[in-house]
Amino acid sequence: MSHLPLKGLVVLEFSQYLSGPAAGLRLADLGARVIKIERPGVGDAGRKLSIKNLWVDESSLLFHTINRNKESYAADLKNEADLQLLKKIITKADVLIHNFRPGVMEKIGLGYAAVQAINPRLIYAEINGYGKAGPWKHKPGQDLLIQSIAGLTHTTGNKEQSPVPFGIAIADILCGAQLTQGILAALIRRQKRNTGALIEVSLMESLLDFQFELLTTYYADRQQPVRSAVNNGHPLLSAPYGIYATKDGHLAIAMMDIQELAEAIHSDELAAYTSESAFTHRDEIKAIIAAHLLQQPTAYWQEQLHSRDMWAMEVLNWQQLTQHPAYKAVQMEQSIQAEGMSITTTRCPIRINGERLTSDKPAPKVGADNAAIYRDFISEM
């Protein structure tokens, strides 16, 4: 896209693993020049965080998926000469992102106050694990740990199961997205008032916000939400909400009237219940639905429900999904060439004026752009 909205903005990414780089990735997708500040030789620790032991040159496939479309500047933050060069780059930057623990950037002389003194218009955006106060502030901010302490693992799985984590790094991705929102808001304010800002988010606060429905009900009655004994889909929602096995697969059923569902699937046993009992007798109703749906394949049940405009969809794995015409219609895949390899990954999900945002620029090698960045930001000073 020739006129990306953030074209001309410079973002310095002092980040590793997923949350900070996720924010940098989205800003790069929107046109910003995103420069990763990495340790010489070693780089972002996320380079060694592997997915299923899949690698591209010396870095993991995971690193490439979340650091495409960026540049790399290698600098030793403990080296005074390197630090002075970085400060010169900072004077010309628009945004600085970091996801270090509280106090780390202050210790090396790049905390908000120090950076604001050399570039008052800079948007300084930081992610930490648990906020800057409280007994957990120096604990490691890792996704599974955050899911566990934030209560999220008690929302997935059935009532008698142990706590179940999400199958993805949900805290990292959400937190990165929320940091991006804060950065964009601060950039708009800067355009109006010509002033920078400090943007702060934490993984824990992101997951608490993610659970606002559950937490609001807990604040009201101080009762822990209870998962369904079977086919749990959402601890606050009544039957039939959940995923059910069929004769040949699985079917997801969302909110709907119990009487209408009974008619659609031809269940006399289910017809004995009403919507008023859908929560008080949730487990009984779900057990009846679960047993009944085993009698026919998914396509049969989906046709019965869709013909009545009722909310249900088949459950697909990734192989089934990527072969489906509906998946192909959104064109979410893009190819990146890195070290002679072709990597297929997802594109930015945002469309602007109907145009999809793609970029085939691969993740950089450590320090690959030092010379160009020195020329653009330092040599002319």
List 29, 143, 172, 369, catalytic entry: 172
User: Quick check: is 172 catalytic?
Assistant: yes
For the chain, where are the alpha helices, taking DSSP H only? 19-29, 61-66, 80-90, 104-107, 112-118, 143-149, 170-193, 203-210, 212-221, 258-265, 282-293, 298-306, 318-322, 325-330, 370-377
Max CA pair span of the chain: 81
Residue-wise DSSP of 112-157: HHHHHHH-TT-EEEEEESS-SSSTTTTS---HHHHHHHTTGGGSSS
Structure tokens at 157: 């799985």
**Listed residue (211, 265, 261, 253) closest to 236, CA to CA:** 211
Structure tokens at 214: 């559950």
Q: Report how far residue 70's alpha carbon sits from residue 28's, in angstroms, rounded to the nearest whole number.
A: 7
Catalytic residues: 172
